């Protein structure tokens, strides 16, 4: 099963869709968790997810805003969607009946 | 100050692969944070990347133990070869056998050590670990009739193998066989002729110099069978 940060990365990338790349995923994670996300953590997690076949990344277009540097675009694969859904279902199951639990 | 930090961050980021470096620096620039914050981000990222390979036991074997222990043993072999070389003019078959054996051993083991070490992602730390015993032995060298430079005879084959390993191109199975045969034949010829006089005593310790060559041969052979091809990527080791 994937880890918590892997789930956050998959969820953020899935939510952003075609606009998912390093900086936007990082911002999305920081927005929902209200915590700072280290860029090293994000990129090593992306590598891990890619080696597991859960995401696909490629170098996208460069923009002037980025000093002419390319973006690392991210796309969640069907296996990635499945892994994220499995993680979410497990969290729901383990939380069921607890005071903070959310019923599906 | 901010500009200096950003400049420094870009220099440090250059330690990492080109595409990733570009993407991360672009992300940092896009966010428009202070130079100090960008520097902290890059430092954290580089440290994480450098530490990453050490989670695998193979990195400790091939990236730490091999460069440290291997350089010590190869220096012993280098001095032995230099001594045997001085005895060649005596013209005895034994002296000749020692030189041939030690040369083959040094070539095979040195090349395979260099190749395996340079194939790892830990190569920078490995280079440092290999330098430490060299500096120590160089400063303590006390054989009057030999130049301390003879300690570094092993550098030739090691750097040759390292240059090949760092290219991360395919390694032909025949080359792996040649290296394995060279190292093994050299070792047995050396043992049979009483060579390797500056190596630590004990065949088991001396035979550890053969491990990289055999590992390379086994790995390339297995990869060849698995992929049904003759090529294996060096960085897969």
- Nearest-angstrom CA–CA distance, B44 and A65: 23
How is residue A31 written in tokens?
């927005």
* Tens digit of each residue's pLDDT (9 = 90 or more) over A15-72: 999 999 999 999 999 999 999 999 989 998 999 999 999 999 999 888 888 888 999 9
- Nearest-angstrom CA–CA distance, A15 and A92: 20
Identify the residue whose tokens are 């450098």.
Answer: B50
- B236 has a chain A CB within 8 A of its CB: no
- B26 has a chain A CB within 8 A of its CB: yes
Q: Evaluate whether A10 touches A54 at the Cβ level (below 8 Å).
A: yes
* Tens digit of each residue's pLDDT (9 = 90 or more) over B183-215: 999 999 999 888 888 888 888 888 999 999 999
At what angle are helices B123-140 and B66-87 packed, to 10 degrees? 40
Tell me: pLDDT of B235 over 80.
Answer: no
> Cβ contact (<8 Å) for A22 and B24?
yes
Q: Evaluate whether B69 touches B138 at the Cβ level (below 8 Å).
A: no
Tell me: pLDDT of B229 over 50.
Answer: no
A103: confidence class by pLDDT, cuts 50, 70, 90: low
Closest by Cα among B180, B178, B184, B194 to B99: B194
Does the predicted model carry a pTM greater than 0.80? no
- Nearest-angstrom CA–CA distance, B78 and B107: 10
Cross-chain CB nearest to A69 (options B25, B44, B46): B25
Q: How far is CA B87 from CA B77, B90, B91, B142, B186, in A?
A: 15, 6, 8, 19, 18
The stretch B4-32 carries a mean pLDDT of 87
- In angstroms, the separation between the Cα of residue A62 and the nearest Cα of chain B is 9
Which residues in chain A are contacts of B27 at CB distance < 8 A? 21-23, 26, 39, 66, 71
- In angstroms, the separation between the Cα of residue A60 and the nearest Cα of chain B is 9
> Cβ contact (<8 Å) for A22 and B23?
yes
pLDDT value of position A66:
87
Burial of A69 (0-12, 13-18, 19+ CB in 10 A): buried
Say how many C-beta atoms besides its own lie within 10 A of residue A83's C-beta: 21
Which residues in chain A are contacts of B24 at CB distance < 8 A? 22, 39, 43
pLDDT value of position B3:
82
B230: confidence class by pLDDT, cuts 50, 70, 90: very low
Helix (H, G, I), strand (E, B) or coil at B145: coil
Cross-chain CB nearest to A40 (options B19, B26, B48): B48
Tell me: pLDDT of B234 over 70.
Answer: no
Tell me: pLDDT of A76 over 60.
Answer: yes
Q: Evaluate whether B42 touches B21 at the Cβ level (below 8 Å).
A: no
- B44 has a chain A CB within 8 A of its CB: yes
Distance between alpha carbon B112 and the CA centroid of its chain, in Å? 8
Q: Evaluate whether B161 touches B109 at the Cβ level (below 8 Å).
A: no
- In angstroms, the separation between the Cα of residue B223 and the nearest Cα of chain A is 19
- A36 has a chain B CB within 8 A of its CB: no
- Nearest-angstrom CA–CA distance, A81 and B123: 36
Which residues in chain B are contacts of A39 at CB distance < 8 A? 24, 27-28, 41-42, 44-45
The stretch B157-166 carries a mean pLDDT of 93
Cross-chain CB nearest to A44 (options B25, B30, B48): B48
Cross-chain CB nearest to B19 (options A23, A39, A59): A59
- Nearest-angstrom CA–CA distance, A97 and A85: 20
- A67 has a chain B CB within 8 A of its CB: yes
Q: Which ipTM was obtained for this model?
A: 0.84
* Tens digit of each residue's pLDDT (9 = 90 or more) over B164-176: 998 877 788 899 9
* Tens digit of each residue's pLDDT (9 = 90 or more) over B102-144: 999 999 999 999 999 998 888 888 999 999 999 999 898 888 8
């Amino acid at each position: 099963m994937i880890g918590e940060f892997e789930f956050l990365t998959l969820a953020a990338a899935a939510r952003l869709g075609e606009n998912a790349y390093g900086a936007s995923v990082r911002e999305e994670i920081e927005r929902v968790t209200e915590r700072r996300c280290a860029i090293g953590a994000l990129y090593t997690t992306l590598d891990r997810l890619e080696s597991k076949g859960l995401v696909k990344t490629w170098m996208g277009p460069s923009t002037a805003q980025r000093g002419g540097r390319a973006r690392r675009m991210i796309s969640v694969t069907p296996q990635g969607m499945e892994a994220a859904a499995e993680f979410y279902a497990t969290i729901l199951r383990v939380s069921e009946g607890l005071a903070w639990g959310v019923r599906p | 100050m901010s500009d200096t930090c950003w400049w420094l961050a870009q220099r440090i980021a250059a330690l990492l692969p080109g595409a990733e470096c570009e993407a991360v620096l672009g992300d940092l620039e896009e966010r428009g944070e202070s130079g100090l914050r960008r520097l902290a981000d890059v430092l954290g990222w580089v440290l994480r990347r450098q530490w990453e390979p050490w989670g695998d036991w193979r990195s400790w074997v091939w990236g730490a133990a091999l460069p440290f222990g291997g350089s010590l043993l190869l220096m012993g072999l280098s001095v032995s070869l230099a001594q045997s070389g001085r005895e060649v003019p005596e013209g005895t078959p034994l002296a000749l056998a020692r030189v041939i054996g030690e040369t083959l051993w040094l070539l095979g083991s040195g090349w395979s050590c260099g190749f395996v070490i340079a194939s790892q992602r830990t190569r920078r730390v490995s280079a440092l670990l290999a330098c430490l015993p060299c500096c120590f032995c160089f400063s303590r060298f006390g054989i009057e009739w030999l130049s301390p430079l003879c300690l570094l005879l092993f550098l030739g084959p090691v750097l040759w193998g390292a240059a090949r390993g760092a290219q991360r191109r395919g390694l032909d199975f025949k080359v792996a066989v040649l290296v394995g045969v060279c190292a093994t034949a050299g070792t047995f010829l050396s043992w049979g002729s009483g060579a390797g006089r500056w190596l630590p005593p004990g065949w088991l310790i001396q035979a550890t110099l053969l491990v990289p060559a055999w590992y390379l041969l086994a790995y390339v052979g297995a990869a060849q069978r698995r992929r049904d091809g003759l090529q294996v990527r060096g960085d897969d080791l």
